[in-house]
Structures are given as C-alpha cells and as structure tokens.
Amino acid sequence: MKRVLLKISYDGTNYCGWQVQPNGKAVQETLQDALEEMLKERVNLTGCSRTDAGVHAREFYCHFDCSESIPTAAFVPGLNRLLPDDIAVLTATDVAPDFHARYSAKGKKYTYVIDNGVVADPLISRYALHIKTPLDTEKMNLLCSALVGTHDFKSFSSSKRTVTDTFRTISECGVEKKDNLVLLSVTGNGFLYNMVRIIVGTAIDASNGKLNEKDLEGLFELPRDEIGMTVPAKGLFLEKVLY
C-alpha cells in the first residue's frame, strides 16, 4: 500500500463543490470515478478542504491509499485522459502514510476577483463578480488590515457552520487593483463556512462607507447582519494550500 497526494485544479462552475452532496455533481465524485476506472477499485479520497458550490481552485490537494500496482507518476496522464476539461490533475506524489491532505495543511490562500469595469466583461463573467461603482481600494485595505491576527470570526461565517471554535488566524489580507479588476487575497490557518465570501462583502461595505473607521475598531463584536453580504461563489479561487 502507498499514500498518494494529488494536486489538482478545477473550474467549479458546474460542480456542487468538492464534497459529495445529495444534489449536483461533486469534484470529489468525478475524480473518484476516474480513479476507479484506473485502479479497478473504489478508493476513498480525502480533500484539503470543502469548497462551496461554484468555487474554483487553482490548487487543491487530496490523498488516497492504493496498492503499488500503478506507478504514482502515471496518475497524472492517466486521470487527465479520463477527466472532463474543467478538472485537471497537476501532480501526483508519494507521501508518508500519516500525511493528511486536510490535517497536515498549515494554511490556505484564497483570492476573490471583482470586475470593477463600468460594463461587465463577458469574457470573465464566469470568474468574477461585477461591481459597477468604482471601489475604494484604500478603504478596503483598511478593513483587510483589521482582519489580520487571531480573532473570533463568528460574525464572518454562515450560521450553517458546524464548528464551535470560531477563532481563526489571518496572516495576510489585502486588495490590489489590476486594470479593471480588484483582487482581494487572504491567507490564514483556516476558514469558517463562507468566511472568505463574507470578508469580501465586508470589504465592499468598507469601500461604500457602510462600515466606517469606528466600526472597524469594534469589528469582531458586530453582529452578522451589520457586516457584509456573502458574495457569489463564482469570483472565489482557492489559490494555494500551505503544508
């Protein structure tokens, strides 16, 4: 037996997320089907995180255990031949039997893409939220800076969350403008359900002046309904997983 770690990438538009769900097709399921065809047995795939329906991944990791019959390097071309165009296996490597795609991860980096042009660009509408009003990246960066550190992010998560410890550590958070795009990046040791999407909604509120400097001081005491909306999944990319 060996443990194999796959680094994959996917366009989440047509999926209900990583994890198998009652409704819709999951990335996990699609990859498991391809693996089953190669290995002639069903394996259990463990992902580095759940991603919401519609979220994309430039980099996502998952591991599985299997016999030595197939050389690890062969999983890359083998699986890519079987997978649809919107999922790709980038690398396959042997890892120690106690390596765990989720628990060994030290952190993750997400990026959210906002199309801030006057007219929504149809060539990126699949991968960006369109906001017509010019965003104030300086005000957004004030909000981002306030998030850095270890805080109780309870208000920054969906009430559907299943965890009880709502403290998380954000190591980097910032916004940059590239032509018509406004990109928010955030790196942390873990994220609550919908947390990144609520952070982006709150940064938009900061830009619009709905959240002022005084609010920023007491940010983590504000109730859920006084911070930003959960922005759509389509602009969100899991960018990097840190091991």
**DSSP states of 44-93:** --EESS---TT-EEEEEEEEEEE-TTS-GGGHHHHHHHHS-TTEEEEEEE
Asked if residues 219 and 146 have their Cβ atoms less than 8 Å apart, the reply is yes
Among 85, 165, 179, 225, binds its own copies (CB under 8 A): 85
The pair of three-digit structure tokens given for residue 59, joined into one six-digit string = 């980099």
Among 9, 166, 171, 189, binds its own copies (CB under 8 A): 9
95 binds its own copies (CB under 8 A): no
> Which of 55, 140 has the CB closer to its own copies?
55
The pair of three-digit structure tokens given for residue 66, joined into one six-digit string = 């299997």
119 binds its own copies (CB under 8 A): yes
- Residue 95, phi then psi, degrees to nearest 5: -130, 165
Question: Least distance (Å) from its own copies to the CB of residue 212?
Answer: 30
> Which of 84, 97 has the CB closer to its own copies?
84
Verify whether residue 98 is a known catalytic residue: no
Question: Least distance (Å) from its own copies to the CB of residue 205?
Answer: 24
CA of 223: how far to CAs of 130, 177, 200, 215, 219, in Å? 26, 29, 16, 11, 9
The CA-based angle 77-126-185, given to 5 degrees, is 85
Of 8-16, 29-37, 63-71, 99-107: span binding its own copies (CB under 8 A):
8-16
239 binds its own copies (CB under 8 A): no
Among 89, 146, 147, 236, binds its own copies (CB under 8 A): 89
Count of residues engaged in binding its own copies, rule: CB under 8 A: 21
42 binds its own copies (CB under 8 A): no
Among 87, 143, 231, 233, binds its own copies (CB under 8 A): 87
> Which of 10, 64 has the CB closer to its own copies?
10
CA-nearest of 210, 208, 137, 203 to 170 is 203
> Which of 75, 153 has the CB closer to its own copies?
75
Distance CA 92, CA 100 (A): 14
Distance CA 204, CA 44 (A): 40
Strands 107-115 and 236-242: antiparallel
Using CB under 8 A, list all residues that contact its own copies: 9-11, 56, 58, 76, 80, 85-90, 119-123, 125-127
Please give the positions annotated as active site. 52
